[in-house]
Amino acid sequence: MDLTYNDRNIHATRLDHDHFDYSPFVARPKFAWPNGARLAVIVSVAVEFQDLIVPEGEWRPPGSPISLDVRNWGHRDYGPRVGAFRLAGILEPLGIKATVPISDTVLIRSPRVVDYMRGLGWELAGHGARANRFVTAALEESAERDYLAASYGAIKAATGSAPRGWMGPGQSESDRTPRIAAEVGYDYTLDWSNDDQPYPMHVPKGRMIALPASVETSDHYVIDQRNHSPSEFLQVLTDHFEGLYAHSASTGFAMTLGLQSHRSGQPFRSKYIRSLVEHMASKEGVWFATGSEVADAARKALGIA
Amino acid sequence: MVSDPKRYPYSAIIDRPPLKLPNDARVAVWVAPNVEHYEYKPPMNPHRNPWPLRPHPDLPNYSHRDYGNRMGVWRMFDLFDKHDIRGTVSINVAVWDHFPEIAEAMVARNWDYMSHGIYNTRYAYAMDEALERAMIEDVIATTKRHTGKMISGWLGPALSTTLRTPDLLAEYGIKYWVDYFHDDEPTEITVKKGRLISIPYSIEINDAIACGMTRQSAETFGRMIKDQFDVLYAEGATHPKVMAICLHPYIINTPSREKYLDDAFAYIRSHDQVWVTTGEEIADYYYAHGYGRRLPAIGEAA
């Protein structure tokens, strides 16, 4: 390593990349949601499918089984078969419409759950062909574009409407993903965990806005990675909600409750999910909205196209 | 093969005369928020991959940490102001170059500055002497430029150091070093030239370890801070101690965790005979009242 190892890497955005500008919270104008709401909540219910055998040479996350992965394949399939319906049973009575990052294969393999969710007014979001096929720098640009476009086209074919949102499988991206997602036609992303308010991204074609989707409010991070029990998950999410709700007295905020249908849809966890959303729904000024609704309202509040 | 850096002789805590603190304080508490810059696509280092879990960028881990400089630090300032605490910032100095308003907010509060290197994704492992000297000089110059002050202490970037680090720190006039976590009292460090002490920092009362690595809840972390304080406060009736609270705004100043820190700060502030202070003040007091008088004599550097 030579002396350039200590050099700074400061772009015009004031970050070390060009995807969006540095925006210190303390310098922002007041953020207003429609109808006097103070806290927007997106309930994201991922409905996924994964490969039984990962193709040779394809990148896989550390710790993945090398050969036939029946146990994780089956576990994941609980989502479209059972978990999604259990979560629907909790959300529907409260009038909450979920946003659904959906693996392409689920659209083809399980149209029944797709039609059911659409019937509830839930919004589908692009999420890649399979949950194990991450978007990474190892993909060629054309392959990445094909991958994002395939999800876009699959949702459009299955539902008649093109998706607006993208959430990478495993929250994965390459450094090209914001640009490619906007080119393909997506206009909001749930991949960024760095803010409690939406912010626009810089893309040369189309448009892209990042909606708050913290790892701190996702069951993948809190349960899978931090090994919290369901009651601890309820405590953490309730604390996050209450903390953000208190801050929202002075300006609008948003959060995404990130649920995997095969994890949070399990019976023993679902009762805590029910307690959580019922508690949130009981508070004045909480606006349960889909990703598109939040994206549209955020653009209006920020005065951007 | 080096099994012992030989930077201090062994000393049993029960053999030492009581640590002297001002105003009959039983505990000196210093609070060190780590204000860091992790890079989206950092340069590779032959000794450590900054993001080992996937090809770069690692979006969940990068964006999780980026929350600190967008949202977390501003809540940090509010909370520290509320409890009248001057922070000793463990600062990646690149934060100030990227975001000068963060420096301005610290200067307005007259905080203390302890270096945490330049970026938290660039490590000291296997730096040759020229590169390590260049890093230390850069940190000193950058701190001077943004704050007008000399940095007072040092914690390696992402806890990385070399075997020569303490010699260089002493040579450059840095007062204290905190990478050892080996005691509840300051220790005199053997260096080739000048003087250097360590002061207690913590790898336990540290949210990145407690919440991030060992996955305790925030409620548990808050209780840990209060329990740590209780034991040191009791011991401090006869043998005063130093207590560090080591934080990261992207972790503790999030909506789900901040109230437990608020509660722990209030608890500490509700006690008498507590010196809530900075790393530099602890170091200065020790140099004036304890250095050379209470521990076995330090030898020459090997």
Q: Do A136 and B64 touch (CB under 8 A)?
A: no
**pLDDT at site A1:** 85
Q: Name the residue among A17, A62, A243 with its Cβ closest to that of B259.
A: A243
What's the distance, CA A259 to chain centroid? 9
Q: Which residue has the tokens 């550097």?
A: B301
pLDDT score at A63: 73
What's the pLDDT at A53?
A: 87
Closest CA to B26 of B289, B242, B277, B265: B242
At A188 the pLDDT is 98
- Contact (CB<8Å) B255/A27: no
Res B88: pLDDT:
98
Chain A contact set for B118 (CB, 8 A): 6, 8
pLDDT score, position A6:
96
Q: What is the CA radius of gyration of chain B?
A: 19
Q: How high is the pLDDT of residue B300?
A: 65
At residue B302, the pLDDT reads: 54
Q: Can you say how many angstroms the Cα of residue B76 is from the centroid of all Cα atoms in its chain?
A: 16
B121 touches chain A (CB under 8 A): no
**By the 8 A CB rule, do A125 and A99 touch?**
yes
User: What is chain A written as a DSSP string?
Assistant: --GGGG-----TTSSSSSSS----GGGPPP---GGG--EEEEEEEEB----SSPPTT----TT--SS--HHHHHHHHHIIIIIHHHHHHHHGGGTPPPEEEE-HHHHHH-HHHHHHHHHTT-EEEE--SSTT----TTS-HHHHHHHHHHHHHHHHHHHSS---EE--GGG---TTHHHHHHHHT--EE----S-SS-EE---SSS--EEPP--GGGBHIIIIIIT---HHHHHHHHHHHHHHHHHHTTTS-EEEEEEEETTTTTSHHHHHHHHHHHHHHHTSTTEEE--HHHHHHHHHHHHT--
CB pairs under 8 A between A and B: 145
| Letter string b/e over residues B41-57, b meaning 16 or more CB atoms within 10 A of that residue's CB | bbeebeeeebbeebbbb
- Does the beta-carbon distance from B45 to A194 stay under 8 Å? no
> Cα distance from B302 to chain A (closest Cα, Å)?
27
Name the residue in chain B with its Cα closest to that of A64. Answer: B53
Of A138, A225, A242, the CB nearest to B55: A138
Chain B: give the shortest CA distance to residue A235, in Å.
Answer: 9
Q: How do beta strands B197-198 and B187-188 pair?
A: antiparallel
For residues A131 and A50, the answer to whether their CB atoms sit within 8 Å is yes
Tell me which chain A residues have a C-beta less than 8 angstroms from the C-beta of B94.
Answer: 8
Q: What is the mean pLDDT of each run of 10 residues along chain B (302 residues)?
A: 88 95 98 98 95 96 98 98 98 98 98 98 95 98 98 96 96 97 96 97 97 93 98 98 98 98 98 98 97 86 58
Decide if B256 and A237 are in contact by the 8 Å CB cutoff.
yes
Name chain A contacts of B105, Cβ cutoff 8 Å.
26
B263 neighbourhood in chain A, CB within 8 Å: none
Whether the bond between B57 and the residue before it is cis, its omega within 30 degrees of 0, is: yes
The beta-carbon neighbor of B98 closest among A22, A232, A239 is: A22
ipTM of the complex: 0.95
- B 15-54 near A (Cβ less than 8 A): 39-41, 43, 45-46, 52-54
Record: contact B101-A26, CB cut-off 8 A: yes
Cα gap A124→B5, rounded to integer Å: 58
Please, what is the average pLDDT of chain B?
96
CB contact under 8 A, B99 and A24: yes
* pTM for the predicted model, two decimal places: 0.95
Distance between A161 CA and the closest CA of chain B, angstroms: 28
For residue range B52-67, what is the model confidence (pLDDT) as tens digits?
A: 999 999 999 999 999 9
- Token pair of B158 as six digits: 């992402």
Largest CA distance in chain B: 54
Token pair listed for A268: 């023993």
Q: Does B194 touch chain A (CB under 8 A)?
A: no
Facing B138 at nearest CB: one of A6, A59, A137: A6
d(CA A87, CA A198): 26
Q: In terms of DSSP H, where are the helices of B41-118?
A: 59-67, 73-82, 94-98, 100-108
| B125 vs A: CB within 8 A | no
* Positions of chain A with pLDDT under 50: none
Would the CB atoms of B218 and A236 count as touching at under 8 Å? yes
**Which of B41, B52, B55 lies closest to A17 in CB terms?**
B41
Q: Which of chain A's residues have a Cβ under 8 Å away from the Cβ of B222?
A: none
B177-204 pLDDT, tens digit per residue, is 999 999 999 999 999 999 999 999 999 9
**Exposed / middle / buried, residue A260 (Cβ in 10 Å: 0-12, 13-18, 19+):** buried
- B71 to A62: CB separation less than 8 angstroms, yes or no: no
